[in-house]
Chains A and B, each alone.
Chain A
Amino acid sequence: MKTTAAINLKSIRKYNPGTLDDEDVINNYISRKAIFQKLIKEIESETNDSIPQHHLIIGQRGMGKTTLLKRIEVEIKTKEDLNQHFVPVLYPEEQYNIDRLSKFWFNTLDQLLDYIDTQISSEEANTIDNQVQQIINAYEEEVLADKAYKLVLQAIGKINKRPVLLIDNIDQLFSLLKENELWQIRQKITDNGAPIFIGASSAPFDEVFTYDKAFYDHFKTKYLDPLTETQFTDLIQTLASNLNDEQLKLAFRQKQSRIQSLYRLAGGNIRTAIILFSSLTNGFGDSISDDLDELLDEMTPIYKARIEELSDQLKAIIDEIALEHKPIDLERLRDRTRISNNTLSPQIKRLRQMGWISVESNIKSRSNYYQITERFFNVWYLMRRSTRRNKRNISVLSAFLKEWIENKDSQGELLLAQSITKSSDIMTRLALSDHITDANIKSALISQAQDGIEQLSAGNSIVAEQFSAYRRKGSNVELPYWIKDFRTKYKSGDYESVEKFLQDIVKNNTENQNAWFGLGVLYQRDLNEYQKSKDCYKRVLELDEKNIYALHNLGNLYKNHLQEYQKSKDCFEKVLELDDNFVHSWSELGNLNISHFHDYQKSKECYEKALSIDNQYIYALNGLGNLYQDHLNDQDRAIEYYNKILEIDEHEKVAKYNLVFLLRDIKGDKNKAREIFLSLENSEESAIVDTYYLHHSLFEVYDQNYGLAKDYLKKAIEYLSNKPPSYTIDDWVRYAAVAIHKGFGKYLIETLSASGIHNIMRPYYDACIALHDGGEEYLYRQSVEVRETAFEVLQHMQKYKSMLPD
Chain B
Amino acid sequence: MSIKLGPPVEGKNFIGRKKVLNRIIDMLSEGLHVLLSAPRRVGKTSIARRVLYFLRKEGWSGIYVSVEGANNEVIFAQRIIDELKKRQTLWSSIKGGFSDTFKNSNIDLEAFGAKIKYRNSPNEVMILLETLGKSIQSIRGNFIIVIDELPVFLAHLEKEEDGKKRVESVLNTLRSFRQIEVDEAYEKSTYTSWMFCGSISLESFANQRNLAYTINDVRSLKVGAYELPEANEYLETISRREGVTLTDDVRDYIIAKTGWPIPFYLGIILEEAIISSDQKVISIENVDEGYKIALKEHKKDFDQWIQRLKLHIGNFEIYLHVLKLIAKYDSVDLDMIKSSMVNTEWNNTPELKLLAILDLLETDGYTVLENKSYQYRSPIIRDYVITQFHLA
Contacts and interface: CB of A to CB of B under 8 A. Distances in A.
Interface of A: 34, 38, 41-42, 44-45, 50-54, 139, 142-143, 146-147, 179-180, 183, 186-187, 190, 204, 208-212, 214, 216-223, 364, 566
A53 B264 CA distance: 14
9 contacts: A51-B7, A53-B5, A186-B69, A209-B300, A211-B310, A212-B68, A217-B41, A221-B297, A221-B298
A211 B312 CA distance: 11
Contacts of B113: 143, 146-147
A220 B6 contact: yes
Contacts of B114: 143, 146
The 9 A-B residue pairs with the shortest CB-CB distance in the complex, in nearest-first order: A45-B2, A211-B307, A183-B69, A364-B390, A142-B115, A51-B7, A42-B2, A209-B300, A220-B5
Contacts of A143: 111, 113-115
A221 B300 contact: yes
B251 interface: no
Question: Which residue of A50, A139, A143, A217 has the most chain B CB atoms within 10 A of its CB atom?
Answer: A217
Given A41-B1, A143-B114, A211-B303, A190 B7 contact: yes
B301 interface: yes
Interface in B247-306: 275, 283, 285, 297-298, 300-301, 303-304
Nearest to B10: A51
Contacts of A53: 2, 4-7
Interface residues of B, number: 38
Given A143-B113, A364-B390, 17 more contacts: A34-B275, A50-B10, A50-B11, A53-B6, A53-B7, A54-B7, A143-B114, A146-B113, A146-B115, A190-B66, A208-B300, A210-B307, A211-B303, A212-B307, A212-B311, A214-B69, A216-B300
Q: In terms of DSSP, what is the predominant structure of the interface of chain A? A: mixed
B79 A187 contact: yes
B128 to A, nearest CB: 16
Nearest to B387: A361
B7 A566 contact: no
A141 to B, nearest CB: 9
Interface string B103-134: 00000000101110000000000000000000
B295 to A, nearest CB: 13
Contact of A187 (B7, B82, B303, B307): B82
Nearest to A54: B6
B277 to A, nearest CB: 10
Contacts of A187: 66, 79, 82
Nearest to B13: A50
B354 interface: no
Nearest to B65: A187
A41 B242 CA distance: 11
B75 interface: yes
Contacts of A147: 113
Interface string B303-335: 110011011000000000000000000000000
B16 interface: no
Contacts of A221: 297-298, 300
A222 B304 CA distance: 18
A180 B75 contact: yes
Contacts of B75: 180
Contacts, number: 81
Nearest to A183: B69
B111 A218 contact: no
A119 B75 CA distance: 40
A143 B78 CA distance: 13
Contacts of B390: 364
B31 interface: no
A734 to B, nearest CB: 30
Given A146-B113, A217-B41, A566-B283, A211 B297 contact: no
A228 B275 CA distance: 17
B2 A41 contact: yes
Given A38-B1, A143-B114, A218 B6 contact: yes
A566 B285 contact: yes
A216 B304 contact: yes
B44 to A, nearest CB: 12
Question: Which residue of A147, A209, A211 has the most chain B CB atoms within 10 A of its CB atom?
Answer: A211
A598 B2 CA distance: 36
B40 interface: yes
B361 interface: no
A294 B298 CA distance: 39
A217 B283 contact: no
A209 B5 contact: no
A217 B301 contact: yes
B215 interface: no
B82 A211 contact: no
B152 interface: yes
A458 B41 CA distance: 63
A218 B7 CA distance: 6
B224 interface: no
B40 A217 contact: yes
Given A41-B2, A53-B4, A220-B6, A211 B308 contact: yes
Contacts of A34: 275
A187 B156 CA distance: 18
Nearest to A139: B111
Given A143-B114, A143-B115, A217 B6 contact: yes
B8 interface: yes
Contacts of B82: 187
A364 B392 CA distance: 11
Interface in B19-40: 40
Contacts of A51: 7-8, 10
B309 to A, nearest CB: 10
A53 B156 CA distance: 27
Contacts of B4: 53
B111 A211 contact: no
Contacts of B301: 217
Contacts of B300: 204, 208-209, 216, 221
A53 B4 CA distance: 6
Nearest to B268: A220
Contacts of A204: 300
A42 B307 contact: no
Question: Which residue of B2, B70, B82, B113 has the most chain A CB atoms within 10 A of its CB atom?
Answer: B2
A53 B41 CA distance: 14
Contacts of B156: 212
A42 B1 contact: yes
Question: Which residue of A34, A51, A208 has the most chain B CB atoms within 10 A of its CB atom?
Answer: A51
A30 B214 CA distance: 61
Nearest to B389: A364
